[in-house]
A and B are shown apart, each in its own frame.
Chain A
Amino acid sequence: MDLIIVSRLAEGFFLNCKLFALTLLFALPLGLIISFGSMSKVKGIAYITKTIVWVIRGLPLLLLLLIIYYAPGLIGESSPWGTRVSGRFTAATIAFVINYACYFSEIFRGGIQSIPVGQTEAGQVLGMTKSQIFFKVILMQVIKRIVPPMSNEIITLVKDTTLARLIANKEILMMAQEYVARGLIVPLFSSGLFFLAFIGGLTLLFGWFERKLDYFRV
């Protein structure tokens, strides 16, 4: 295969990687905040948060992407995303962050609630503050428990980044399809290799991380 094709595909895949990294960067902390919201003792907050999570998880990511890209322009005078490439990428990032933060929040919630209440109580009777109990006692146990479901979700995220082409982000599959239009099918198949390599690397990373946490059992 032509070197130009490979470099075009790599260029596209760089966008996938960028979207992937930014989504993780923002969706992980946001997901943690949302999980606290859905576990809030204040009924109103828990109710609102759970409704939001239901709506976001209930809509296809593809539809969410289109809503976030087009809806502001339909409501307001002009689209906040502008007509530039960077605007389309920002819209995609926001859609991905919102979507994945909601999925992550449920994983966090499950992880936090699976830790026996005795751990919190043991911290309390030792005079620890709520935040000390969370960061020094609970968090590490939660991380250990959520590595497997998280790795699933993160791998899905890698592949979902291809949806960004729906609002004309030039990600790898969009690049490959240009060749399909010209009668070349091989670039489309070879784009799969990029994903296989990337996810292979991630899988090794998760395995390493799980082994790192093997020193204790919960």
Chain B
Amino acid sequence: MAVLEVENIRKEFGKTVVLRDVSFELEQGHAIAIIGSSGSGKTTLLRCLNFLERPDGGIIRVKGEVLFDANDPATHGEAEIRKKRLHFGMVFQAFNLFPQYTALHNVTLASELLAKERYKGSKDWRAEIRDIENKALSILEQMGLADKINLYPYQLSGGQQQRVAIARALALQPDILCFDEPTSALDPELTGEVLRVIRSLAEKHTTMAIVTHEMAFARDVADEVIFLDNGLIVERGKAKDVIDNPQEERTQQFLARYTQD
């Protein structure tokens, strides 16, 4: 079953149309890689999924439930959108860790606030703190950061920061984990450690949407690849097929630039 269904998403910024008409589905446990040149709309697509941008047209469904319908204002409310965001996790290109908290606290903060909210003012949420912390610790351990939990972001390398960011997103157990060029701010040496973590998540069948410029990685890790150009899906298929043997001329041109060097 498709956990995510995106139908006819359109997004404009003023007169610039960034996404013309984008539709795709994502199966439970699959990873989809979204590739394309700068300005093709990849990042905007992910931002629409996380409601950081509001699409001007189209429908977003998760597990059959309509989260957003551009034609139905009832799905646009600020408070509901906040809850709906929790279906998605987001890992940013620039990490965006909270500098005043330790690695561990970065991971636990949102869960703590949600627990506090559930208990509506009573202090009983504190009983959950231990659970939240234990869960965060085990995720950080999976990320290979067991010895870094008490360090502040500035004390970590870029690759370590991005792994904390991945742990932070995972802690809320999203249905779909989104990555927006997770390695573009890293040098090649650090890129490897972040890609290894994402690869291990794919092996555990985490449902993921990954915007990336790492073609070899997309081919090896993703089940499917979408090639986006000028706000439209030009080609879509099995990862190996699209990357090794693209059918569309535009995809061939784009990928040729990667194989040259």
Contact = CB atoms under 8 A, between A and B. Distances in A.
Contacts of A126: 109-110, 168-169, 172
B99 A218 contact: yes
B113 A128 contact: yes
10 contacts: A118-B94, A122-B96, A125-B52, A125-B90, A126-B109, A126-B169, A126-B172, A136-B113, A141-B100, A215-B152
Interface string B86-112: 101110101011111100000001100
Interface residues of B, number: 28
A140 B100 CA distance: 7
Nearest to B154: A217
B160 interface: no
A124 B83 CA distance: 10
B88 A125 contact: yes
A143 to B, nearest CB: 9
B114 interface: yes
B85 interface: yes
A125 B50 contact: yes
Contacts, number: 66
Interface in B17-53: 50-52
Interface in A115-137: 116, 118-119, 121-129, 132, 136-137
- Per DSSP, chain A at the interface is helix
3 shortest interchain CB distances as A-B pairs: A126-B110, A122-B96, A118-B96
Contact of A127 (B101, B110, B153, B154): B110
B63 interface: no
Interface of A: 116, 118-119, 121-129, 132, 136-137, 140-141, 144, 215-218
B82 interface: yes
Nearest to A132: B113
A195 B146 CA distance: 52
Interface in B96-140: 96-101, 109-110, 113-114
B85 A124 contact: yes
Contacts of B90: 121-122, 125
B109 A216 contact: no
A121 B82 contact: no
Given A216-B154, A217-B154, A127 B94 contact: no
> Among B51, B92, B98, which residue has the most Cβ atoms of chain A within 10 A?
B98
A46 B96 CA distance: 28
A125 B174 CA distance: 10
> Among A116, A125, A129, which residue has the most Cβ atoms of chain B within 10 A?
A125
